[in-house]
Every structure is written in C-alpha cells, then in structure tokens.
Amino acid sequence: EGHYSAPDFEPETLMTRLSATSLAAISPDIALPAYDRAAITPGIVHLGIGAFHRAHMAVYVDDLLKDQPDWAIVGASLRRPDTKEALEPQDGLYTVAVRDAAGTHPRVIGSILKVLDANSEREDLLALMASPQIRIVSLTVTEKGYCHDPATGELDQRHPDIVHDLANPTAPKSAPGMLVEALARRHAAGITPFAVMSCDNLPSNGATVKRIVSKLASLRDAALGEWVADKVAFPGTMVDRIVPSTTDADREIVAALTGVEDAWPIMTEPFTQWVIEDDFPDGRPAFEKAGAQLVEDVEPFERMKLRMLNGSHSTMAYLGYLAGHEYVSDAMGDPAFVALIRGLMTEEVMPTLDMPGTDLGAYRDQLLERFANPALKHRIWQIAMDGSQKLPQRLLGTIRDRLAAGQGIERLSLGVAAWMRYVMGIDEKGENIDVRDPLAIRMMAIAAGAGSDPEALFEGLVGLAEVFGDDLADNEVFGADVVEHLDSLFDVGAAETVREVVG
C-alpha cells in the first residue's frame, strides 16, 4: 500500500508467466525459494501488502522458511486489489531485483502464500486473523493508514473510516478497525492475541499503534479495550530499505534477466535494515538469523532513521521537485544539494541524537551514497506524497529539540518552507503540481487565499494543528526562519535558494 504504480500489464504471448509451474524455466543463476512451498503454512498476516513489504519483511521471512515453515505470510490489501490481481496468477511468487551501479540482481521470493482483498474478502481475512495459527499481524499501511492525528499520535475519532468502523465494528474498513475486530473475536473465543507489529515510518510505531488500537477497542467495549492494552504485544520496529515504485521499464528488465514475465516485480537497493523490539509473547520467527537486530528499545534507532534518512528525503523531495529534478539521484548530482543535505544531517540532526556505539558520521556517509545510487530511479514525487503525515516525525521533532536548546534551524526550516511552497500546488514554471495528501484540499484553499505572500502562506499552513501542534505557530524563531526561506523560494526559486543557504 502506498506504492503506487498499479501494473498495466498485458502478458506477452511468447513469454511464460512466473508461477509455481514455471520456476523450472527461470535462468539457473537466479535464486529461487530454498524450501518446498507446498509445505509452508501461514503464521503471519500482513496488512498493506505493497512494494515496501515485499522488498523488506517478506525477504527476511523467505530466508527463514526452510527452517521454520510455519511462518509464511498471507498478505492483505486494504485499498486496492491490484497486488492480488498481479500475484494470484503467479501463485504469490514475485521477483525482487537489487540494483546499483554494478548491476541488477533478481531473486524470486516465495514467502507470500496468498493475498486477500480486504474489501471483497473481508470475512476470510478476519477469520484467518482470528485463528490461532496467526501469531503476528504486521502492517505497512503508510502514515495515513493509522487514522490518527500525526501531531499527537492519538486516534482521530472524526476520521471517516473510524466513524464507519465504530458504526459497523464487525465489517471494518480501516487497519485499526480490522485489528480490533480480529482481536475481539480472539478475546471472545479465548484465543491468545497475536502480536501487532507496525513496520511504518511512524515515531514510536509500536507505542503509537498500541495507543490507537486500544483506544478504538475501548470505544467499542471498555473490557475489550483493557484486554488489548494489557494483553496484546505491540513490538516497535525500525525499518529501512529504499523501494521506488515499479515501472514498465523495470518489468522489462526483470523479464530479460529471469526469462519469465512478472506482472509486479519490486526494484530495490542492496541496503536493508530491520531493528525489532523483542516482544512476541506467542513466538516469532528467528528474524535475527536473517539479519534483523532484536533489541530491547528500538526508539533511538527509529529516531535516528526518521530524522537522518527520512528528514533528508523530504527536504530533498520538496526542494528537488521545485528545482525541476525527477529522481533523488538527479538532485544528488547537484553539489549544492549534497552540501545542503550533508549540512542538515551534520549540523542540525546529529547533535539531537543520542546513539552511543553508533558512528553517526559513517551512517550519514552511507545515506549520501544510498541517495546517489544511480540505478535506483527513486522518484522525488513519490517521497513528496503525504507530507502532512510525515513532517512531524521527520523535521518538526528535530526543530522542537533545537529550538528548546536555543540552537539554529536554518536548513530544517528550509525543508518546511519548501513543503509549504510545494503544497500550494503550482510549480516555479506555473504548472500544476499533483499534490497527494489527505489534507490537500484544505492546504490548497489556504494557499489560494495567501497567494504568493510568504507571511500569509506561513500563517495559514502553520495553523494546521494536526501537523504543527499548538506550539510552533507562536514560535518567533521558527516563523521568521520559514518566512525568510519562503520569501527566497518565491523570489529566486529553489535551486538558487539552496545555493545561497550552503554559501
């Protein structure tokens, strides 16, 4: 979910489609599942079976199924059935292709047994989630899928899907609603709960999803709410792998390398990281054997990743889009952008992190290298989506810490200004920007009222309390810095503003 290019796929008549029966036709140098797929059984339900999950958790699980065959995944899509449509004719099989300057390395993944469409197969999905064989329900539903207020991390009780789910608790639409209904069925049947594992880029994702799901459960039934709060484990995670959305050109590359047609292969980078809080009362796969780090407290890792990687990404996305770049690697080809992002991390983010034992300078240098990966083709527009849900944990938390310590926010505030300039919906050439964001309509109305008056644009957007909370609107340093950058963005444009800021 959240990774966007639905396959517009017409099977070629001459080439075999990837499937259980065509595995033998795949080029011999391509890695295939190392276990008997007929012998694996589901232990995990994953909500939001998009590109990210298929390049990340599903690969770790694929590494483990040989020794632990009862942990296969059943995926569910909550919004669109397109992943199901692509994978069903392929028996759940798909290709992950790792790309960098040295080449493209495909591998066939078999850990996803099947995909259910939550809209048309809701009962099957809930029944499976309620059955004792499922011991983990994991999620990648993107930030907005949690139906919460991003500034406070609390359930948004006025969210239309939550209003729906409270009125129709046994036929829910939202991810929190699905979790509550499945947990309610287990509670009623006396079955131990599954662990709920968020793999989204939310701050304190375990604690946040626990707060949201317990609250929704308690609105339904106080006793259920207490049981969820007391008995359900919500391990936190830090997840990291860059996964651009798949294009038709990618499909052709993968077909040429494997010799079979895959309707929805996933392209990704060599790097992958997964830090997991070890809290699975009902058991878990030996994720550490596949390279994950199991820790007691995941929050320092999360904060580091959200502020360093994602904070840089968002800053680069809004400025890069305005400057006319299409891919992250294009922006990284401009030395002024590299200097800005390096300075952002070194001068403004790293001093806010407390990571004994981690070489933050090395982490930063590795990030710069990952961003520059010329083979990845990571579209800036993809990162620019849903900024209202992303800014709090990527930039605003760092800004708050620095303001409280009396430290400068020159580059961080440029990221915020670029977002404000971007969500106006008109680029530097006067063309429309396709702004995808749950708050897009409200933001564009604010922008239309403000015109190109930086002060008015700032005042209007900073009033979105679900993004900025109730403290930043009145902070004079924050206001002055953002407005000054906005002034420059209107005046000389993003590319020149970046050059001026890096000096």
> Residue 500 has which token pair?
């001026």
Nearest CB to ligand CS2, comparing residues 54 and 186 = 54
Please answer whether residues 212 and 155 qualify as being in contact, where contact means their C-beta atoms are separated by less than 8 angstroms. Answer: yes
Q: Is there binding between residue 99 and ligand CS2 (CB under 6 A)?
A: no
Please say which residue, 258 or 382, places its beta carbon nearer to ligand CS2.
382
- 117 φ, ψ to 5°? -95, 115
Stretch that binds ligand CS2, among 34-42, 91-99, 308-316, 477-485 (CB under 6 A): 308-316
Judged by CB under 6 A, which of 68, 247, 310, 475 binds ligand CS2?
Answer: 310
Interface residue with ligand CS2 among 187, 241, 307, 402 (CB under 6 A) is: 241
**What residues numbered 58-77 form the site for ligand CS2, per CB under 6 A?**
none
A 10 A CB-CB count for 503 gives: 7
Q: Is 276 an interacting residue with respect to ligand CS2 (CB under 6 A)? A: no
Under 8 Å between Cβ of 78 and 1: yes
CB of 271 to ligand CS2, least distance (A): 9
**Closest to ligand CS2 by CB, 165 or 302:** 302
- Pick between residue 140 and residue 488 the one whose CB is nearest to ligand CS2: 140
| Contact stretch for ligand CS2 (CB under 6 A) within 226-234, 235-243, 275-283, 406-414 | 235-243
What would the two tokens of residue 129 be? 């989630």
| 8 Å CB contact between 341 and 421 | no
Listed ranges 38-46, 181-189, 382-390, 429-437: which one lies at the site for ligand CS2 (CB under 6 A): 382-390
Burial class (CB in 10 A: 0-12, 13-18, 19+), 347: middle
Rank residues 240 and 262 by Cβ distance to ligand CS2 and give the closer one: 240
The reply to whether 90 sits near ligand CS2 by the rule CB under 6 A is no
- Residue number closest to ligand CS2, CB atom: 313
Options 382, 413, 488, 497; binder of ligand CS2; rule CB under 6 A: 382
Element (H, E) at 237: strand 237-240
Indicate whether 240 belongs to the interface with ligand CS2 (CB under 6 A).
Answer: yes
Q: Which residues have a Cβ under 8 Å from the Cβ of 185 and sit 6 or more positions away?
A: 126, 129, 130
- The residue range among 24-32, 305-313, 345-353, 472-480 that interacts with ligand CS2, by the rule CB under 6 A, is 305-313
R_g of the chain, CA atoms, integer Å: 23
The residues, ordered by sequence, that sit 6+ positions from 363 with a Cβ below 8 Å of its Cβ are 304, 308
Number of residues that bind ligand CS2 (CB under 6 A): 10
Do the Cβ atoms of 287 and 237 come closer than 8 Å? Answer: no
| CB-based contact 430:495 (threshold 8 Å) | no
Q: C-beta of 390: minimal distance to ligand CS2 in Å?
A: 6
Work out the end-to-end distance of the chain between its first and last CA atoms, rounded to an integer number of angstroms. Answer: 40
Per CB under 6 A, 242 contacts ligand CS2: yes
**CB of 439: closest distance to ligand CS2 in angstroms?**
16
Contacts with ligand CS2, 386-405, as mask; x by CB under 6 A? ----x---------------
DSSP 91: T
Tell me the closest approach of the beta carbon of residue 139 to ligand CS2, in angstroms.
Answer: 15
**Among the candidate windows 220-228, 285-293, 306-314, 445-453, which touches ligand CS2 by CB under 6 A?**
306-314
Question: Among 20-28, 112-120, 181-189, 307-315, which window interacts with ligand CS2 (CB under 6 A)?
Answer: 307-315
CB closer to ligand CS2 out of 147 and 242: 242
Query: What tokens were used for 431?
Result: 């063309």
Q: Closest Cα to residue 175, out of 199, 210, 205, 139?
A: 139
Does the protein bind ligand CS2 through residue 383 (CB under 6 A)? yes
Helices within 168-264 (DSSP H only): 175-189, 205-220, 222-231, 248-258
- What sign does the dihedral 498-465-199-129 (CA atoms) show? negative
Min CB(173)–ligand CS2 separation in Å: 24
What are the C-alpha distances in Å from 152 to residues 81, 160, 175, 193, 277?
Answer: 32, 18, 19, 27, 22
Where are the strands (E) in 69-177, listed by range?
72-77, 94-100, 103-109, 112-117, 136-139, 148-149, 154-155
Cβ at position 175, least distance to ligand CS2 in Å: 18
Shortest gap between Cβ of 84 and ligand CS2 (angstroms)?
22
Cα–Cα distances in angstroms (integers) from residue 459 to residues 420, 462, 488, in the given order: 11, 5, 17
Nearest C-alpha neighbor of 130 from the set 74, 72, 181, 170 = 181
Query: What part of residues 185-214 is at the interface with ligand CS2 (CB under 6 A)?
Result: 201
CA 284 to chain centre: 22
Query: Considering only residues 215, 313, 325, 402, which one is a binding residue for ligand CS2 as defined by CB under 6 A?
Result: 313
Q: Could you give the string, one character per residue 105-144, with x where binding to ligand CS2 holds by CB under 6 A and - elsewhere?
A: ----------------------------------------
| Sites of contact with ligand CS2 (CB under 6 A) | 201, 240-242, 309-310, 313, 382-383, 390
